Amino acid sequence: GRPVISSTGLFTPAETITNEELVAAFNAFVDRHNAAHAEAIAAGEAEPLAYSSVEFIEKASGIKARHVMSKAPILDPDVMCPRLPERANDELSVMAEIGVAAAKQALERAGRSPADVDAVLCAASNMQRPYPAMAIEIQQALGIDGFGFDMNVACSSATFGIQTAADYIRAGNAKSVLVVSPEITSGHLNWRDRDSHFIFGDVATAVLVEDAAIAPAQHWDILGTKLKTVFSNNIRNNFGFLNRATPETEGTADKLFVQEGRKVFKEVVPMVAQMILDEAARLGIDPEGLRRLWLHQANAGMNRLIAHKVLGHEANEDESPTVLDTYGNTSSAGSIIAFHQHSDDLQPGDTGLICSFGAGYSAGTVFVRKAG
């Protein structure tokens, strides 16, 4: 079959945290920490923690607010992480719940029922548990007869999921595949780390990839997909089952998101720009003729540079829309939110690019053309 994108879906958590609220909570934590360690600091045995700043966050990242699943505990200086009550095994887990919400919207927008779907991929940066797979729980909750599995390629999980789904359709193994990306990034963000506490937000997206033969009239042809990975320790999280509950390993900062933001910026921008240009050349697409770029939403400056290299001029919001100002970095969901919110106005024949990049390093491109 010939793979197309039939529709997308989005679930946005109701609660948001503004930079002002975030910085007030962080600075309250800093005051408490420094007061508790005043003697050591005065004796030169410990460094005081420094304040965060709203101005820095917005200037360095472009982020103004983020949605979260559990606001109050994140802003409580004594807690500073989400607190989502554990659910019984026979209740829908929270990660599956937000994935199902996004998936239902994608099905509705395509005029599909779960009976039409053959497979569910849960493609996200972190799974709530190792098994049973989140994808199988989502499959069961929707009532889909077929198969599902989880895949994690950090920020590029959604584009890797789209290529995987497209390959099933090309091979004739499926006609309709849901790629669901529930991202509860607040659970693996270190809200006490000044360098990164402002970066991430929670969300869920879904992409319905189908065989053109059964797709609705309104769809996006997938012109080509390309994936790339290059190992790097510059974005890393060491949490795992080999460091459970030992006094030496539990609760240290490396068990949460850690990055060398400057290095990531410098290394990933040229890698991704080149990858896009190479893939456009392979597909016979003029990059300067791309109608819109739906880029990974990590950093406004990064996107400005990549878009400039691809389009050959400074991109405006219409050519390279931003969603990270209100969503923050939502890992794999970012480029899909941008596509979901900013694609209805394109005309049949318009060509665009969904592009992800992040930890691994990993990067993925999905060139699409509006059908009709």
- Which of 265, 247, 244, 285 is closest to 367 using CA atoms? 285
Query: Candidates 87-95, 158-166, 169-177, 195-203 — which segment interacts with ligand CO8 by CB under 6 A?
Result: 195-203
Is 329 a binder of ligand CO8 (CB under 6 A)?
yes
Stretch of residues binding ligand CO8 (CB under 6 A), selected from 129-137, 209-217, 244-252, 254-262: 254-262
- What is the per-residue binding string for ligand CO8 in 2-41, x denoting contact by CB under 6 A? ----------------------------------------
Distances (CA, A) of 199 to 17, 78, 123, 335: 12, 20, 20, 16
Minimum separation from the CB atom of position 97 to ligand CO8 (A): 19
Please, what is the minimum distance in Å from the beta carbon of residue 113 to ligand CO8?
A: 33
119-148: contacts with ligand CO8 (CB under 6 A): 125
The residue (of 60 and 80) whose beta carbon lies closer to ligand CO8 is: 60
Provide the minimum distance between the beta carbon of 225 and ligand CO8 in the complex, in angstroms, as a whole number. 19
SS3 81: coil
Query: What end-to-end distance do the CA atoms of the chain give, in Å?
Result: 18
β-strand 119-123 against 176-183: which pairing, if any? parallel
Residue closer to ligand CO8 (CB basis): 164 or 234: 234
- Which residue in the list 81, 122, 155, 355 is annotated as catalytic? 155
- DSSP character at residue 198: T
Angle made by CA atoms 12, 13, 14, in degrees to the nearest 5: 110
Q: In sequence order, what are the beta bridge partners of 320?
A: none
262 makes contact with ligand CO8 (CB under 6 A): yes
CA distance 98 to 184: 9
Q: Is there a contact between 160 and 151 (Cβ–Cβ < 8 Å)? A: yes
Report how far apart, in Å, the C-alpha atoms of 321 and of each of 224, 265, 282 are: 22, 19, 25
Name which position in 155, 162, 222, 227 contacts ligand CO8 (CB under 6 A): 155
Task: Quickly list H helices, 1-82.
Answer: 19-36, 38-42, 54-61, 71-75
Confirm if 157 and 116 have CB atoms less than 8 A apart. no
Contact partners, residue 261, CB within 8 Å, separation at least 6: 195, 196
**Residue 208 or 354 with smaller CB distance to ligand CO8:** 354
Please state, as a whole number, how many other Cβ atoms lie within 10 Å of the Cβ of residue 38.
12
- Residue 270 or 289: the one with the smaller Cβ distance to ligand CO8 is 270
User: Are the CB atoms for 332 and 356 separated by under 8 Å?
Assistant: yes
Q: In 3-state terms, what secondary structure has residue 64?
A: coil
Q: Does 264 sit near ligand CO8 (CB under 6 A)?
A: yes
- Shortest distance, position 372 Cβ to ligand CO8, whole Å: 34
Could you say whether residue 273 binds ligand CO8 (CB under 6 A)? no
Residue 271 near ligand CO8 by CB under 6 A: no
* 259 is an interface residue for ligand CO8 by CB under 6 A: yes
Given 358, 363, 364, 366, the residue binding ligand CO8 (CB under 6 A): 358
For ligand CO8, which is the closer residue by CB, 257 or 294? 257
Residue written as token pair 């919207």: 105
Q: How far is the CB of 38 from ligand CO8 (least distance, A)?
A: 22
Residues 52 and 326: their CA atoms lie apart, in Å, by 19
Considering the rule CB under 6 A, would residue 188 count as an interface residue with ligand CO8? yes
Concerning whether 355 is annotated as a catalytic residue, the answer is no
The residue of the chain with the least Cβ separation from ligand CO8 equals: 358
Sites of contact with ligand CO8 (CB under 6 A):
52-53, 56-57, 60-61, 125, 154-155, 185, 188-189, 194-195, 198, 200, 235, 257, 259, 261-262, 264-265, 298-299, 302, 329, 331, 358-359
Catalytic residues: 155
